[in-house]
Amino acid sequence: MSGETSSEWMSKVSEGWTSAAERAATYTVLVDARKRLPGSGLAYSSNLILTADHVVEREENIRILLPDGSVQAASLAGRDPANDLALLRLEEAVLTPAVTAESEGKIGQPALTVARPDPDGIQVGWALISAIGGPVRTMRGGLLRRFFRLDATPYPGFSGGGLVDLNGRLLGINTSGLAGGTFLSIPVAVAWEIGNVLARHGRIRRGYLGIRSQPVEIPSALQQALNRTQERGLLLVGVEEGTPAAEAGLMVGDILAAINTRPLNDPEDLVSVLSADVVGSTVTLELLRGGQRLEKQVTVGER
């Protein structure tokens, strides 16, 4: 502390936290788009707001309370329910865009959760990044590429608000709608990337084969048929009629081992492969059927 008393040092720390909250307040808004308590949102650009999808229950009569206390109407620009993100558009370009952190958060990093859940102003909570994970399948049927698990209290209306560092720079967007109420934060790099796609297209395209599968061990004898070491694959337990998988001749009991030579060890691998880039394109499926290896060509549909 170099000559400072403990009280002087704590005063400076407190002032720093206060400044961080004030800085985050300039880009944090209230989102009134559901019957119960409103949620929060973050200024993505001068007229776009990124928020949690589950706080946008209606697509009309959306009202935004801005940091200056004024109210603006907003329309839905796009949504990605699988990753619990929605993008709203204001009629006027009046927002101060969020200042994003220069580096991604780290395990053990202290941070603040900042929200605007009511007209009285911002609310702030203390947070610690307790873990960083991903990819992980969400309860909404998507694959979240990366997330922060927070040691923080999920106060009402905090979903859609920001996780900010102690300089007030945005680390992530908070949500309790992805993992059964667990309070997570989607890193700003991931959230902003999704926001960019929503701004351009209004939705996130995801590939679709029309199968139900479960992980299964591949015996060493069958690994020889693949001509590589791969201990797990996906056993097909259902093939829906009229889907790309059915049209390609896939059958219940097949083991799906790879797509375009990329091995599939679990359902998360499959979701990752079936990205927007492959929708509408023809891919090569590598299967094990009756102890034999075979390949099938299939045109990926859109879910």
DSSP-derived 3-state class of residue 46: coil
Q: What's the DSSP call for residue 1?
A: -
- Spatial contact of 157 and 176, defined as CB atoms under 8 Å apart: no
- Spatial contact of 17 and 11, defined as CB atoms under 8 Å apart: no
- Spatial contact of 68 and 95, defined as CB atoms under 8 Å apart: no
Q: What's the DSSP call for residue 53?
A: G
Query: Which entry of 159, 176, 185, 213 is annotated as an active-site residue?
Result: 159
Query: Which entry of 84, 165, 254, 269 is annotated as an active-site residue?
Result: 84
Here the tokens at position 234 are 């996906």
Active site residue 130: no
**How would DSSP label each residue in 247-300?**
HTT--TT-EEEEETTEE--SHHHHHHHS-GGGTTSEEEEEEEETTEEEEEEEE-
- Spatial contact of 137 and 267, defined as CB atoms under 8 Å apart: yes
- Spatial contact of 143 and 137, defined as CB atoms under 8 Å apart: yes
Active site residue 84: yes
**Degrees (nearest 5) of the Cα angle 51, 163, 183?**
75
From the CB of residue 70, how many other CB atoms can be counted at a distance below 10 Å? Answer: 10
Q: What's the DSSP call for residue 145?
A: S
Query: Which entry of 53, 54, 165, 176 is annotated as an active-site residue?
Result: 54
Here the tokens at position 57 are 């229950």
Q: What's the DSSP call for residue 180?
A: T
Give the length of the chain: 303
**Degrees (nearest 5) of the Cα angle 49, 30, 105?**
60
List residues with catalytic annotation. Answer: 54, 84, 159
